[in-house]
Amino acid sequence: MFEALKQKKVFRVAALYSVIAWVVLQLADIIKEPLDLPEWFLTALIIVLAVGFLIALVVGWLAGGEELAVVPAGTSRSGFESIVLMLVVIGLGWLIIKDISEPQITKEPRRTTSPVVILMDTFAPRGVYDKETRQKSGTNADVLSDLLSDLDLITQKETLGSTWDREAQLLKQKPHLILIHRSAFFHSMARDFQVAYPVGEAKASAEFNKLYDVAENKLIAFMGYIGDQNQETRFVVYSRGTGGGWSDDDYRVRWLQKVAGRFPSLQGRVIAIPVPGGVANGSFQSKVGRHVMRTLVLDQLSLSAPE
């Protein structure tokens, strides 16, 4: 039987097939993660290779009979080659079994680049919280950029105006987090369209209220569009609550429900916070304001605070 197997090249077929199978398995293991192949892929491939091995042996037996029937058996060279081929088959078989039996180590996903944070606010003075920032023609985004500057992230400032339409450019940045002033669009539009703010106890005009609704709709539509296009983007919406209600937890919960009701994909991805200090003194330059925003950003991005 042993001589028959040698003459019919079964050992050589087995060795060659084992080499090819081992190479195929190594390549499959390399490309599995980059191509995001399913978990069952390697198992299915191993089964296919095992069935193919049996078929290759049968083909080797049938194909090698006539050609090698006249080869003298028992020569030392032939015996040595057979032993070597057997060792190769056994060795490669052991490697394949070892690869299969070893537990696969699941690697933790590792961020290869710093997360991108978009800071969006208005240039309109009525929407800028700090007097010093207003005097320098800055925005709240400038303040946020400064207080986040030592963190391992990339910040990009977007100054909003009534005609702002940079959604496509923003999506190219693949933002992980967007910090946006709830009233940023409104303050910009009120400035551009010269809509008067109510003074003292006076009620807001119909034009004022209509513009506020338009700006609110634009804010929610913006978040919905970005959120649908990039499922990884989260949002933090902040406000001092000058229009009333924002400082109340129930008010913000209802507002978030309204947002998620319109864009279900935003459920759980939007956080609404009042700026520490309230209507009169709300600021991110205060110690409390800085702490609140830094802590929130670190938490949302799963980053560690710098030592």
Largest CA distance in the chain: 113
Q: What is the pLDDT of residue 100?
A: 54
CB 110 within 8 A of CB 35: no
Q: What is the pLDDT of residue 218?
A: 96
pTM higher than 0.75 for the full model? Answer: no
Q: What is the pLDDT of residue 296?
A: 96
Alpha-carbon span 162 to 191, nearest angstrom: 9
CB 41 within 8 A of CB 48: no
Q: What is the pLDDT of residue 30?
A: 77
The CATH code that applies to domain 116-301 is: 3.40.50.2300
Which stretches of the chain score pLDDT less than 70?
1-15, 57, 60-112, 243
Alpha-carbon span 306 to 289, nearest angstrom: 18
Per-domain residue ranges of the chain: 2-101, 116-301
Q: What is the pLDDT of residue 80?
A: 52
Q: What is the pLDDT of residue 5?
A: 47
Integer CA distances (angstroms), 39 to 30, 97, 151, 180, 287, in order: 13, 18, 36, 40, 49
Q: What is the pLDDT of residue 25?
A: 73
HSE at residue 174, side-chain half, CA atoms within 13 A, is: 5
- H helix and E strand count, the chain: 12, 5
